[in-house]
Amino acid sequence: MLPPTLLRNLTYLEKLLLDNNLIRVLPPQSFFGLNRLKLLTLGSNHITQLPCCLFDTMPHLWELDLGRNSLATLPDGIFVNLTSLGKLILSHNQLAALPRGVFTGLNKLSDLQLDTNQLSALDDEVFAPLPNLKTLNLRMNQLESIPRGLLDPLKRLSSLYLSGNPWRCDCNLCYLHSWIQGNSEKVKLSSQVSCKTPPHLAGQAVISLRENQLICPATLPPSVSSIPSLLFNSTSPQGMPSLLPPEDVPTAAQTTLSSMAFPIMALPTMPLPMATSFILPTMPTESFITGPSPTVDLDICFAEPVQCYCSSAAP
């Protein structure tokens, strides 16, 4: 732990290097009085959190290094009084999310390093307070997509690093894909910005894809995996569900099933004996029954659902 009053009397100090120590806790008043500080390095320590007012008295600070620590989150507005800050290093931490207002006040920031964290999602306005940002490093995170409009406020951006993320190349990546194609000179290591999923696009560079390849699977209707309602819309006198509507119930002259209704199975070509059994897959919604035959008991069993329902047709 850094003693709260250790640095208080160093009012003319401009550079403070505290990296590669064993600092775990920073008291809120750690840097009070360092009004002329321009460079502060706190990298390669064991810092897990930052007090909300830690940087309140550093109006001239230009570079802040918080990399290689154990920060999992940042207080909203933590940097609001660092109005002169030009470079902020947050690399190699455990940041999983960024509050929308975390970069408020950083109007002069030109270099933001966020690589090697655990970021899996970004607020669509998190970079809005950074009109002068030129370099943004988002490498080696867990990003699968970014929200539409995220990069639009960054009019001066010249270097964007996106490789090392598990990009999901579907319809949700259309915005980033379009942005990359329109700003290819700004995306560094663009050939390494590649798809992780879906499997058939895995390993392909995002910039090489066509827009019509970025599709999302259509949602299947609820009845897709169920047996069509046409087959079970009434109950037979025996208490079993009817296979067909009453007007389509087979008569004595309609006891042979057409092979067109069951393309997977080959039906016998010889006259049917007294009983025939079939294991049917999920059937089309219409079945056509043709061909004369004498009295036949037709037992039909379905593989889906697990229970087996049988119905007998009498002349």
- Read off the CATH number of the domain in which 96 is found: 3.80.10.10
Give yes or no: residues 42 and 129 share one domain.
yes
Is 186 in contact with 160 (CB distance < 8 Å)? Answer: yes
**What letter would DSSP give residue 171?**
G
Residues 6 or more apart in contact with residue 253 via CB below 8 angstroms: 292, 293
Count of CB atoms situated within 10 Å of the CB of 271:
11
Structural domain of 104:
1-161
- pLDDT exceeds 60 at position 297: no
91-109 pLDDT tens trace: 999 999 999 999 999 999 9
Examine the pLDDT at 227 and tell me if it is beyond 90. Answer: no
Among 136, 161, 186, give the residue marking a domain's end. Answer: 161
Whole-angstrom CA distances from 279 to 166, 169, 309 are 44, 40, 11
On the question of pLDDT at 233 being above 60, the answer is no
What residues have CB less than 8 Å from 113, skipping those under 6 apart? 67, 87, 88, 89, 90, 91, 135, 137
How many independent structural domains does the chain possess?
2
Give the pLDDT score at 281. Answer: 47
pLDDT at residue 15 in the model: 97
- 224: tokens are 């897709």
pLDDT beyond 70 at 301: no
Among 153, 116, 115, 110, CA closest to 135: 110
Supply the pLDDT for residue 4. 75
**Pick from 138, 161, 184: which residue ends a domain?**
161
Taken in order 101, 102, 106, 107, is the CA torsion positive or negative? negative
142 neighbors 97 (Cβ within 8 angstroms): no
- Residue 68 in any domain: the answer is yes
pLDDT (mean) for 182-205: 95
My answer on whether 149 and 267 are in the same domain is no
263, two tokens: 């393309």
Residue 35 shares a structural domain with residue 139:
yes
Mean local confidence (pLDDT), 6-16: 91
Does residue 272 lie in a domain region? Answer: yes
Residue 120 falls inside a structural domain: yes
d(CA 92, CA 47): 12
Question: What is the distance between the alpha carbons of residues 151 and 135, in angstroms, rounded to a whole number?
Answer: 12
Which two three-digit tokens encode residue 150? Answer: 């995220």
**Both 139 and 270 in a single domain?**
no
Same domain membership, residue 146 and residue 55: yes
Q: 187-188 and 297-302 as β-strands: parallel, antiparallel, unpaired?
A: unpaired
Average pLDDT over residues 237-255: 45
Domain annotation covers residue 218 = no
The answer to whether position 157 is within a domain reads yes
- Please report the pLDDT score of residue 42 as a whole number: 97
**What does the alpha-carbon distance between residue 39 and residue 20 come to, in Å, rounded to a whole number?**
16
Do 130 and 242 lie in a common domain? no
Average pLDDT over residues 64-83: 96
Q: Does residue 66 share a domain with residue 148? A: yes
For 122-148, what is the mean pLDDT?
Answer: 97
Distance of CA 125 to the CA centre of its chain: 18
Q: Is the pLDDT assigned to residue 305 strictly greater than 80? A: no
131 pLDDT more than 80: yes
Please state the rounded mean pLDDT for residues 1-10: 81
Asked if residue 226 has pLDDT above 90, the reply is no
Whether the predicted pLDDT of 302 surpasses 90: no
Q: Which residues contact 65 (CB under 8 A, 6 or more apart)?
A: 19, 40, 41, 42, 43, 89
Written as six digits, the tokens of 192 are: 């390494």
Higher pLDDT, 308 or 70: 70
Q: How far apart are CA 265 and CA 82, in angstroms?
A: 75
Domain-ending residue, one of 161, 184, 207: 161
**Residue 285 domain flag:** yes
For the stretch 268-295, pLDDT in tens is 444 444 444 444 444 444 443 444 444 4
Question: What tens digit of pLDDT does each residue of 115-128 get?
Answer: 999 999 999 999 99
pLDDT bracket for residue 235 (50, 70, 90): very low
Residue 18 shares a structural domain with residue 142: yes
- Residue 17 inside a domain? The answer is yes
| Helix ranges, the chain (H) | 174-182
pLDDT at residue 95 in the model: 98
Average pLDDT over residues 149-178: 97
* Token code pair at residue 107: 């109007």
pLDDT tier at 8, thresholds 50, 70, 90? confident
Looking at residue 128, the DSSP 8-state letter turns out to be T
C-alpha closest to that of 208 among 187, 222, 228, 229: 187
Query: What pLDDT sits at residue 180?
Result: 96
212 within some domain: no
Mean pLDDT over all residues of the chain? 79
DSSP 2: -
| Gap between the Cα atoms of 84 and 149, Å rounded | 26
51 plus 142 within the same structural domain:
yes
State both tokens at 49.
């959190």
Q: Does pLDDT of 157 surpass 90?
A: yes
pLDDT of 243 reads: 45
The full DSSP string for 226-240 is SPPGGGSSSB-TTSS
